[in-house]
């Protein structure tokens, strides 16, 4: 939005620039600027959503998640969801992707592609290179909630890995640590395809993810092939517990999903 306004002013400024002496080119510049102004009057929906940049280089999560997977996963898979949600939302009011989640089940394209965009944006943000990740830890508040909900961090990881096992998540899907709707405990839930627990109707009540893992085959196949359990147990090495703690603080306070970039 800001870029478009800036280009509007630049367009106007160049129309009156002393260097542009020929009146025809000035007329051209003015009419172009007016056209840009008219476009601004309607919502910019064709590029409403975008793939957020990774907060680290593609190779940063090696050896736990390989570089080619990060490239294809981010630049192709996530980009396709973004292109498709933009198409689905053309002509509609521009809202943050988080806002589309509650009623996503109302429309197939929003459920699949809006969900896909939100889930992946959420995913990139909660990971960090291994040497950074290992210095992070759950906040006191989060640690306390993990212990009261699962008994211990190890117990939580164990339950999470069981939920992510090939038999547990049939086909494609995600596994999440969520805060329940009442805000009283953490739970582990699996969702199929690009559903997430923020979507009304996916679980018995809306729940708020603080941590999520993509277990679609495209997330791990190049490096791990069918060895999903190995992918899942390795994944803890790139989890940014500081960000997860921020997520927990946010959802606890706001009783809303974590906003994401893009």
Partner 1 sequence: MSGKKVIFDTALRASVNLQSSKLPTELTKSSTALFSALSGVKATLPDLSYDYNALEPAISAQIMELHHTKHHQTYITNLNAAMEKMDSAMMNGDVSAVIALQGALKFNGGGHINHTLFWENLSPNSEYKEGGTLDKALKERFGSKDGFISELTATSLAIQGSGWGWLVYNPKTKMVDIASCPNQDPVEATTGLKPLLGIDMWEHAFYLDYKNVKPDYVKAIWDVINWDTVEARLEAAK
Q: Exposed e or buried b for every residue in 150-182, given b needs 16+ CB within 10 A?
A: beebeebbebbbebbeeeebeeebbbbbbbbee
Shortest distance, position 122 Cβ to partner 1, whole Å: 18
Q: Given the structure tokens 């839930």, which residue do they identify? A: 189
Closest CA relative to residue 248, chosen from 196, 211, 195: 211
Q: Given the structure tokens 């090939």, which residue do they identify? A: 166
Q: Which is nearer to partner 1, 233 or 237 (CB)?
A: 233
Q: Is 196 in the site for partner 1 (CB under 8 A)?
A: no
By CB under 8 A, the count of residues binding partner 1 is 21
Shortest distance, position 227 Cβ to partner 1, whole Å: 9
Sites for partner 1 among residues 96-155 (CB under 8 A): 112
Shortest distance, position 90 Cβ to partner 1, whole Å: 20
Shortest distance, position 155 Cβ to partner 1, whole Å: 23
* Separation CA 61–CA 125 (nearest Å): 12
Query: Which range in 38-46, 129-137, 152-160, 164-172 contacts partner 1 by CB under 8 A?
Result: 164-172
For partner 1, the binding residue among 4, 225, 254, 255 (CB under 8 A) is 225
Query: Which helix H or strand E contains 208, and what residues bound it?
Result: strand 208-214
Sites for partner 1 among residues 172-191 (CB under 8 A): 172-173
For partner 1, the binding residue among 171, 184, 254, 255 (CB under 8 A) is 171
- Cβ of 9: how many Cβ atoms within 10 Å? 10
For partner 1, the binding residue among 217, 230, 246, 261 (CB under 8 A) is 217
Q: Is 66 in the site for partner 1 (CB under 8 A)?
A: no
Query: Which helix H or strand E contains 243, and what residues bound it?
Result: helix 241-254
- Cβ of 224: how many Cβ atoms within 10 Å? 18
Q: Which is nearer to partner 1, 147 or 217 (CB)?
A: 217
For partner 1, the binding residue among 58, 124, 176, 216 (CB under 8 A) is 216
* Separation CA 82–CA 118 (nearest Å): 9
- Cβ of 127: how many Cβ atoms within 10 Å? 24
For partner 1, the binding residue among 56, 221, 236, 250 (CB under 8 A) is 221
Q: Is 76 in the site for partner 1 (CB under 8 A)?
A: yes
Rounded to the nearest 5°, which phi and psi values hold at 186?
-90, 150
Q: Is 87 in the site for partner 1 (CB under 8 A)?
A: no
Closest CA relative to residue 40, chosen from 62, 8, 64, 13: 8
Residues of this chain that interact with partner 1 (CB under 8 A) are 72, 76-77, 80, 112, 166-167, 170-173, 192-194, 216-218, 221-222, 225-226
């Amino acid at each position: 939005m800001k870029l478009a306004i800036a280009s509007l002013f630049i367009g106007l400024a160049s129309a009156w620039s002393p260097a542009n002496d020929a009146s025809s080119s000035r007329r051209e510049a003015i009419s172009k600027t007016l056209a840009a102004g008219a476009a601004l009057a309607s919502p910019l929906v064709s590029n409403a959503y975008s793939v957020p940049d990774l907060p680290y280089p593609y190779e940063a999560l090696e050896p736990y998640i390989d570089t080619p997977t990060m490239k294809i996963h981010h630049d192709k898979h996530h980009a396709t969801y973004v292109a498709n949600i933009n198409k689905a939302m053309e002509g509609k009011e521009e809202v943050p992707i988080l806002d589309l989640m509650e009623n996503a089940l109302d429309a197939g394209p929003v459920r699949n592609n809006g969900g896909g965009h939100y889930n992946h944006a959420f995913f990139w943000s909660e990971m960090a290179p291994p040497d950074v990740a290992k210095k992070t830890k759950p906040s006191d508040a989060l640690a306390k909630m993990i212990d009261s909900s699962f008994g211990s961090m190890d117990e939580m990881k164990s339950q999470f890995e069981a939920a992510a096992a090939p038999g547990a998540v049939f086909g494609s899907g995600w596994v999440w640590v969520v805060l329940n709707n009442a805000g009283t405990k953490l739970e582990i839930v699996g969702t199929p395809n690009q559903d997430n627990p923020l979507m009304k109707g996916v679980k018995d009540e809306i729940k708020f993810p603080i941590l999520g893992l993509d277990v679609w085959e495209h997330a791990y196949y190049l490096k791990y092939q069918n060895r999903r359990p190995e992918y899942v147990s390795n994944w803890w090495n790139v989890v940014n517990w500081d960000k997860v703690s921020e997520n927990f603080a946010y959802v606890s306070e706001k009783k809303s999903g974590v906003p994401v970039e893009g």
